[in-house]
Chains A and B, each alone.
Chain A
Amino acid sequence: MKTSNKTNRRQFIKVTATGLAGATLIAGSKAEATSRKKKEKIIYRTLGRTGVKLPIVSMGAMRGESKALIKMGIDKGILHYDTAHVYQKGKNELMVGEIFKDQNREDFFIATKIVPDDMDRKTGLLGEGATAEKFMENLDISLERLQMKQVDLLYLHAISTKEATLHPEMIKALKTAKEQGKTKFIGISTHKNEPEVIQAAMDADIYDVVLTAYNFKQDHRDELKAMIHKGAEAGLGFVAMKTMAGGFLDKEQTKPVNTKAALKWVLQDENICTSIPGFTAFEHLEESFSVMEDLKLTKQEEKDLEFARDYAGLYCNQCDQCKGQCQKGLPIPEIMRAYMYTYGYRDMSQAKDLLANMGVENDPCASCDSCTVSCVKQFAVADKIKDVSRLANVPDEFIS
């Protein structure tokens, strides 16, 4: 079985030495793909200037019985597996290393990600502790855990600003990693301010790949889609994450997102080379893989996504754009969260606790003639504050 796997996978992937020429499936792999087609259709796309061809469904190898799920992924034809230095404090890389030490390394496309040291999580800016030396130390730890001399793709992880994308120490570290042969390609991962990061990645002119959050629920999805297009034109390869938009619409996880539809929505964008869902069950993997049979959304799937968007639209998504806009200095995002607790989660007690903690009294807008807060989702913020702040006067015994 293992030998057979090795042979199969070797035929699927080929990367040119420079990564510049467009590598494609080699002759043997076409035959393999044809044979597989009878069972399951696999769609391949090229990862930008790397020239690497990958199935549009890859795998974030980080949850549940991942070892067994990765084995199933290998069996099904998934080539790209994504881990990170920080996942499970390194245990995830160890697990990935354990699996791929028994595989032909060149048959797979393994990525890991390293967060710069001394990154301010609020601002996304890097401090003096973000050095190339420290980054390289972490990379060496990752390679040791992975039992590999080289990863295929090394990401600068969790970047949300232009400054961090272009940070000289990080650029130096990434270039060094490539020069020393510790990675074939370099990339950047972003889940916030993605358009800014993508533009900066183009400007930096050293990145090969962008791993970006991308899903049907993002408010700025049109802007992001346009930026992905621009990046792809410039030769960047794009990998999508957070494609399932959290998996559930509600905190209690009783209203699941139609994950198949969500994945199709992302993969309909042909500038996305592949996606990395984090599977936890075999049937999830089967379902995600099955989107390649037909990427077109059915009418019901369109409806499901529309419903999910509307559901999200009822509540604040904590973009923080309104911070500081209130003339009375009210903590608007927190009050909007209390509103969501009340009407979305039906958890009035938690809402009241939050309001009390923020010092919000009943009807704090009463003395204002006009509201200076402008919500990007066009919420009637003052009305919602008036509504939810009534909780301040409701005794605990009535809600607990």
Chain B
Amino acid sequence: MKKIYVSCIILFSSLIVTAQSYPSKFMDINGWRAQNDKQYFSPENLYDYINGASDFYLGYKFQDLWVVDYRNQEGQLVTLELYRHKNPLYAFGIYSEERPATASTRSIGAQGFIEDGTAFFLAGDYYVKIFNGSPAAPKQSLLDFSRKVAERICEDCQLPQELAHFPASGKVKMSERYMAENFLGVTGFNGVFTSLYKTEAGSCRLFMYKGSDADCKDFLSRYFNRLKYKKKVKVKRYDLEDPYMGKVTIEYKGGLITGILDSSSPELHAELLDSIQ
């Protein structure tokens, strides 16, 4: 018998398995029953569902989307959209892109908010949206359902730990981002955290990238090249003038790049940069 299975595997060729569980865990949730007409979208056809916004999701390594209607015993209807991304960082990236600066956050999953009767939240590698339908569920019921969905994804959902590297003082609420691709417009400079700051010295954006030393050097070399800055990359702090980004301060330490953007006087924010742990 085993031989047959092995033959099957050979027939299917050598495989790398990266499967996520299909969300059967979401079938029935706290009195809400998944309806039959489920829609599935892959990176190839996400466009059919969210049109041009799909490019943005694909940039955050979108994996798949299930759109499922749920009804409870009262006949109320909600629609669950489960956007699964490659990992929790990418999910945070797309969630934080859509999170309004004025959002009043709720404890749903790692973090969530409700806007115009729709719940949005982050849980593990999922970015989840739950739309109220007709007949609509009461707000508390929507909130309870959202929390139960989040629990099915992760018991102790958290925001990315990397955010703790940024200094707390002066940090603008809800401004943290995860830039998935081509930071500073440099191809391959992916996975950079940023956060806005407002202090007495003005506003600025701090950024931080941790990776291999070789990658750090490569990204900076190519960035310097675009600026026609001829120096070799060394462990030091650089004050640069970018024709399209204005004044840019970049500090390179082995395997770590930090910096200041969007400030007319980055030197006034040097302490903040020093505080990135």
A contact residues vs B (CB 8 Å cutoff): 1, 60, 62-65, 67-69, 71-72, 75, 84, 86-89, 91, 113, 115, 121-122, 157-158, 189, 191-192, 213, 241-242, 246-247, 251, 278, 280-284, 317-318, 334, 337, 342-343, 346-350, 353-354, 356-357, 390-391, 393-395, 398-400
Contacts and interface: CB of A to CB of B under 8 A. Distances in A.
A395 B245 CA distance: 54
B223 to A, nearest CB: 10
B185 A353 contact: no
B156 interface: no
Contacts of B40: 334, 337, 354
Contacts of B73: none
A191 B47 contact: yes
Nearest to A334: B40
Given A65-B182, A87-B52, A75 B16 contact: no
Interface string B17-31: 111111010000000
B251 interface: no
Contacts of B39: 122
A88 B55 CA distance: 11
Contact of A84 (B17, B20, B53, B97): B53
Contacts of A284: 182, 187
Contacts of A349: 15, 17-19
A346 B16 contact: yes
27 contacts: A65-B182, A71-B243, A72-B185, A89-B98, A113-B52, A121-B49, A191-B47, A246-B43, A247-B58, A251-B42, A280-B181, A282-B185, A282-B186, A283-B187, A318-B42, A346-B14, A347-B15, A347-B17, A348-B9, A349-B19, A350-B20, A353-B19, A353-B22, A356-B22, A357-B22, A390-B11, A400-B19
B149 to A, nearest CB: 18
Contacts of B59: 63-64, 280
Question: Which size bracket describes the interface of B in this complex?
Answer: 35 or more
Contacts of B226: 282
A399 B14 CA distance: 10
Nearest to A283: B187
Contact of A398 (B9, B55, B243): B9
A318 B245 contact: no
Interface string B33-76: 00000011011110111111101101100000000000000000
A393 B5 CA distance: 8
A186 to B, nearest CB: 18
Contacts of A354: 22, 40
A68 B246 CA distance: 9
B254 interface: no
Nearest to A115: B51
Contacts of B49: 121
Contacts of A350: 18-20
A16 B99 CA distance: 40
B47 A68 contact: no
Contacts of B50: 86
Given A280-B59, A281-B182, A84 B52 contact: yes
B213 to A, nearest CB: 22
Nearest to A72: B244
B214 interface: no
Contacts of B17: 347-349, 399-400
A87 B181 CA distance: 17
Given A281-B182, A282-B226, A347-B16, A157 B51 contact: yes
8 tightest A-B contacts by CB? A349-B19, A158-B51, A68-B244, A353-B22, A281-B182, A282-B185, A71-B244, A280-B182
Given A69-B185, A400-B19, A87 B42 contact: no
A246 B44 contact: yes
Contact of B179 (A64, A334, A343, A357): A64
Given A349-B17, A350-B19, A342 B182 contact: no
B8 interface: yes
Contact of A317 (B22, B44, B97): B44
Given A62-B52, A281-B182, A318-B45, A75 B21 contact: no
B185 to A, nearest CB: 4
Contacts of A343: 12-13
